[in-house]
Amino acid sequence: MDRLGRWFGRSKNPPAEEPSATGDPEVEEAAPPASGVGEAHQEPSPAASPPAVPGEAAPAANASGGLRGIWEATRRLALTPVDPFFEKMAEGLNRTRQNLVGQVVDLFRSHARIDEELWEELEAILLTADVGVGATDRILEALRGSVREKKLREPSELLDELREVMGRILGADTPQVGALKVEKGRVNVVLMVGVNGTGKTTTTAKLAHHYQKQGFKVLLAAADTFRAAAIDQLQVWADRVGVDLVRHREGSDPAAVVYDAIAAAQARGADLVLVDTAGRLHSKANLMEELKKIRRVSGKDLPGAPHEVLLVLDATTGQNALEQARVFHQVTELTGLVLCKLDGTARGGIIVAIAQEFQIPVKYIGVGEGLEDLQPFVPQQFLEALFNQRSGAGEERRDGQGEPAGKASEDPGS
């Protein structure tokens, strides 16, 4: 398989013509080989070749001392190209890479100098990729500053600067909070909240699968009692993953489900209760009351619970995701965000907008519908996947129009 060659374009003399990368996740059938979510935290591979930044023939070509330093740092952080999880994420980011980094590279290639027109076009690209007004302003300001201070002349020199500032916004230079604050040997409660259709139930199943593989005894709570189908959907996932589910009848009190689930976890010696909740934003007051009650009930018998409250967002909804984060943050204290369906959009810049606007960490990203398609969000790794791949492939998706997530082959609810 020449896929890695296509992904990484690391060879010094790549063939002039390469076949298109499999840019469209909708034509992808196969799930990645089995492994765990946590394993995506790969150790840097010191042996990795310098990443071939799209649009730059060779790093040394325009490397001043400072840039060389950045280059070397980037190189040290380069991930091993045989990591299937990294490859999966890179694949999931295809559309965004083409729409964001690909366009930027084209822009830098087609401009002989750094001028006002270039700034304007760069701004348009960032906004089209949903990077958001706040983050876009910050990026442009930082790049203009770099041009002044480092006396940059070549547009191509801006690519490393762009990656740097995006890294700062995404928190690449701050210690990562990493995965969930859960410990074996006690009952941990994790609430999954979010608007309908964002990916809560699927993410609940993915997390159950992941933590079960880590040796946790996991129990699911079907606290979306709004529709019978929602309970059944979670049941199918529970059976597939091989974990217990606590469920009540449709229309019953979600807080009572959580109460029972915690009691069951204590009785059965389970370590982790994942609570799938309903998301009805059209009745904000009800939602607020429901979530408050769930929190109250879970904390009553189990001090410290819920240990995590994760807001699940759908990357394909663009700026709506920001609005949802605002609303939910008012409703309930959030400890983390999960950004799903990054594979289904060309506008994954939304993750930068989210990081710019909220102090709440993005803990996981969803890059597909399968159980393995959830990855811890590691900014350096994410940037590596976004910037260090061949950008010329899949020209057909340069329109910036993200499409709804792909087929629902793994979705038991469909």
Site for ligand GDP in 305-324 (CB under 6 A): 312
Let me know how long the chain is.
414
Smallest gap from Cβ 58 to ligand GDP, in A, equals: 36
> Phi-psi category of 182—alpha, beta or left, where left has phi over 0 and alpha has psi -120 to 50?
beta
What the block records as the tokens of 171 is 């928190």
Cα–Cα distance, 359 to 399 (Å, whole number): 31
Residue of 169, 168, 187 whose CA lies nearest to 259: 187
Out of 146, 202, 298, 380, point to the residue binding ligand GDP (CB under 6 A).
Answer: 202
User: Cβ of 358: how many Cβ atoms within 10 Å?
Assistant: 16
Are 142 and 355 within 8 A, CB to CB? no
Indicate which of ligand GDP, Mg ion, none lies near residue 412 (CB less than 5 to 8 Å, by partner kind). Answer: none
Q: What x-and-dash track marks residues 175-194 binding ligand GDP by CB under 6 A?
A: -------------------x
Which amino acid type is present at position 243?
Answer: V
Cα–Cα distance, 307 to 309 (Å, whole number): 7
Q: Of 143 and 193, which has the nearer Cβ to ligand GDP? A: 193
- Quick check: 402 binds ligand GDP (CB under 6 A)? no
Q: Of 8 and 211, which has the nearer Cβ to ligand GDP? A: 211
Residue of 317, 382, 329 whose CA lies nearest to 360: 329
Site for Mg ion in 221-280 (CB under 5 A): none
- Quick check: 360 binds ligand GDP (CB under 6 A)? no
- Quick check: 344 binds ligand GDP (CB under 6 A)? yes
Q: What x-and-dash track marks residues 143-182 binding Mg ion by CB under 5 A?
A: ----------------------------------------
Q: Of 96 and 201, which has the nearer Cβ to Mg ion? A: 201
- Quick check: 369 binds ligand GDP (CB under 6 A)? yes
Q: Of 167 and 412, which has the nearer Cβ to Mg ion? A: 412
Residue of 92, 176, 178, 172 whose CA lies nearest to 372: 92
Are 349 and 342 within 8 A, CB to CB? no
User: Cβ of 298: how many Cβ atoms within 10 Å?
Assistant: 25
Half-sphere exposure at residue 115, Cβ-oriented, CA atoms within 13 angstroms: 5
- Quick check: 23 binds ligand GDP (CB under 6 A)? no
- Quick check: 405 binds ligand GDP (CB under 6 A)? yes
What the block records as the tokens of 343 is 């594979």
Out of 88, 95, 200, 295, point to the residue binding ligand GDP (CB under 6 A).
Answer: 200
> CA angle, corner 157, sides to 394 and 164, nearest 5?
80
- Quick check: 201 binds Mg ion (CB under 5 A)? yes
Indicate which of Mg ion, ligand GDP, none lies near residue 313 (CB less than 5 to 8 Å, by partner kind). Answer: none
Alpha helices, DSSP H only, in 97-184? 103-110, 116-128, 133-150, 158-170
Out of 201, 298, 335, 375, point to the residue binding ligand GDP (CB under 6 A).
Answer: 201
Burial of 314 (0-12, 13-18, 19+ CB in 10 A): buried
Cα–Cα distance, 343 to 346 (Å, whole number): 8
Out of 38, 44, 406, 412, point to the residue binding ligand GDP (CB under 6 A).
Answer: 406
Q: Of 13 and 414, which has the nearer Cβ to ligand GDP? A: 414
Which residue has its beta carbon closest to ligand GDP?
366
Q: Of 59 and 199, which has the nearer Cβ to Mg ion? A: 199
Q: Of 343 and 384, which has the nearer Cβ to ligand GDP? A: 343
Indicate which of ligand GDP, Mg ion, none lies near residue 102 (CB less than 5 to 8 Å, by partner kind). Answer: none
What the block records as the tokens of 367 is 């890059």
What the block records as the tokens of 405 is 């997530």
Residues that bind ligand GDP in the complex, under the rule CB under 6 A: 194, 196-202, 312, 340-341, 343-344, 366-369, 373, 405-406, 408, 411, 413-414
